[in-house]
Amino acid sequence: MSILKSEKKELLYTGIVYLLIGVVMCTWPFGAAGVMSVLAGLTLIVLGMKRAAVYFTKKEYGLMQRLDFAAAAILVIIGIVIAGQPDFFLLLVPFILGMIILVNGVFLLQEAVELKKMKYDAWWHHLAAGFATGIAALIMMFDPFSSHRVMAVVMGVLFILDGAADLYTELFLKGRLKKLGLM
């Protein structure tokens, strides 16, 4: 499979997953946030244990391999804290997810500039989506809301917007650009 097809599939899957996460967070904010905390913690614990197993089964030891054990221990400790203290994780989630969504917004702005340079008449769709995504991500990162429930719903809406933007890009925009000979 070519790299381009692989990227297209990845973007489509990401868009669908973001939409699903957004819908779940909007309809079941407290439950979804608690479950996400525990799953994230357990994932880190498993990754840390896997890394520790690799460390103990390696035959070669050098400076970099010694860091593998420290990294494994850190992953397990963070996993335990996140799984055991979901409220702590819920304080970090808006900032971390906001950063991820902000990066996507910046990419949308870059695409808008590139589309404008290619004289694509609907370049401003990406510009508007980039600004909307970026502003919403900044609001999410700096958590002006006092309620976790409101924040979970806002995060859900942001996931829906981000997923919809990814799907729009892959399903509609790139096909139109190919027809116009701009890609």
Q: How far apart are CA 120 and CA 116, in angstroms?
A: 6
Looking at residue 56, its amino acid is F
Q: pLDDT by residue (tens digit) across 2-31? A: 555 666 677 777 788 878 878 887 888 777
- Give residue 165's domain range: 18-175
Angle, alpha carbons 136-162-130 (nearest 5°): 60
Residues in the chain: 183
Contact 56, 20 (CB under 8 A): no
Q: pLDDT by residue (tens digit) across 72-128? A: 999 999 999 888 887 777 777 778 878 888 999 999 999 899 989 998 888 999 899
Domain contains 98:
yes
Domain contains 154:
yes
Contact 44, 75 (CB under 8 A): yes
Domain contains 143:
yes
Could you give the number of structural domains in the chain?
1
